[in-house]
Structure 1
Amino acid sequence: MTDLVETLVENREMVQPNHANMLEVAHGGNVMKWMDEVGAMSAMRFAGETCVTVRVDRMDFERPIPVGDTAYITAYVYDAGTSSVRVRLVTEREDLRTREREKTTESYFVYVAIDDDNRPTSVPELTTGTKEGERLRTKALEGNGT
């Protein structure tokens, strides 16, 4: 069994001009790629196996991330099946000079754990042994409509 808080992964990506669209903000495809990578890290941390993306339940872009700011991405596993792993991802725009953060994007990804032959393999049971873990799981379930 793996506790939810053990799956928490946080990462930052500096938005450079080559990541931007013509409005000089992070291109949505780059944000999605960064989220997918961090989500996979969380899923693999939980499963102890390689995990591949099988579904994005939804992707809500609420506001842009300007060039020069960072995309601060948080991911954690909130549910698991036999071989599937559900991860909540939140991206915030962060100004490193002021440390101001503002939510920009939220999504829910599903990964599948695979073995050395690239076949689905079982994952452990997810537990929530802390109040923080229970709070995060509840927030994810409410936000994804599950």
Structure 2
Amino acid sequence: MPSLSDTYLENRFRVQPNDANNVETLHGGNLMKWMDELGAMSAMRFSGETCVTAGVDDLSFHRPIPLGETALVDAYVYEAGRTSVKVRLRAWREDPRTGDTERTTGSSFTFVAVEADGTPVSVPELTVESDEEKRLQQEALDAES
């Protein structure tokens, strides 16, 4: 059974002019796309199957990410159903010169594992053992309520 730590992924995206909106900050749709892509990779690492997005819970943008800064996105599976997987996604703005970060966004995405023909397929049970894994899972569950 895969553990929460096995599913943890992190990626950085430099905010370029073609990623920005009219006020020269990251367009929310671009961040959502990056979160969705990383979330799917986390879900696939967990399930060993192709995963597609089934839902997005409370995607709120608390702070902008300015042009020239970096969007730091992380993802991890915190809950698994029969064929579905819940992935916690968080984003920060990161100054590429100093590494200073500030949290900007948080959400949970639900993915469904599917076979080549699109039929849902079972996923394994999630193992949560270490204190850090328990903390991350609890943070994700608390964010749901």
Matched residue pairs, number? 145
Letter in 2 for 1:39: G
CA RMSD of aligned residues (A): 0.6
Q: What is the rounded CA distance, in whole Å, between the counterparts of 1:136 and 1:32 in structure 2?
A: 21
Alignment correspondent of 1:112: 112
Deviation at 1:13, TM superposition (A): 0.6
Question: Which runs of 5 or more structure 1 residues have no equivalent in the other structure?
Answer: none
- Alignment partner, residue 4 of structure 1: 4
Letter in 1 for 2:126: L
Give 1:86's aligned residue.
86
Shift of 1:54: 0.6
- For residues 29-61 of structure 1, give each alpha carbon's deviation from its aligned partner in whole angstroms, at most 9, with x where no partner exists: 000000000000100000000000010011010
Alpha-carbon distance in 2 for matches of 1:126, 1:47: 9
Distance 1:117 1:55 in 2: 20
- Counterpart CA distance in 2 for 1:40 and 1:74 is 12
Quote the offset at 1:129 in angstroms: 1.7
Structure 2 segments unaligned to the other structure (5+ residues): none
Instruction: Give the distance between the partners of 1:39 and 1:137, measured in 2 at CA.
Output: 15
CA distance in structure 1 between the partners assigned to 2:29 and 2:122 by the alignment: 30
Distance 2:102 2:144 in 1: 20
Aligned 1:1-146 pairs, distance under 5 A: 1-145=1-145
Over the matched positions of the two proteins, sequence identity in percent amounts to: 57
SS in 1 for 2:68: coil
Q: CA deviation at 1:27?
A: 0.3
Alpha-carbon displacement from aligned partner over 1:81-127 (angstroms, at most 9, x marks no partner): 00000000000000010110000111110000001221000000001
Amino acid at match of 1:127: T
SS at match of 1:126: coil
Structure 1 runs, 4 residues or longer, greater than 6 Å off: none
SS of 1:60's equivalent in the other structure is strand
Measured in 2, the distance between the counterparts of 1:96 and 1:124 equals 38
Which residue identity does 2:57 align to in structure 1? Answer: D
Secondary structure (helix, strand or coil) at the match of 1:2 reads coil
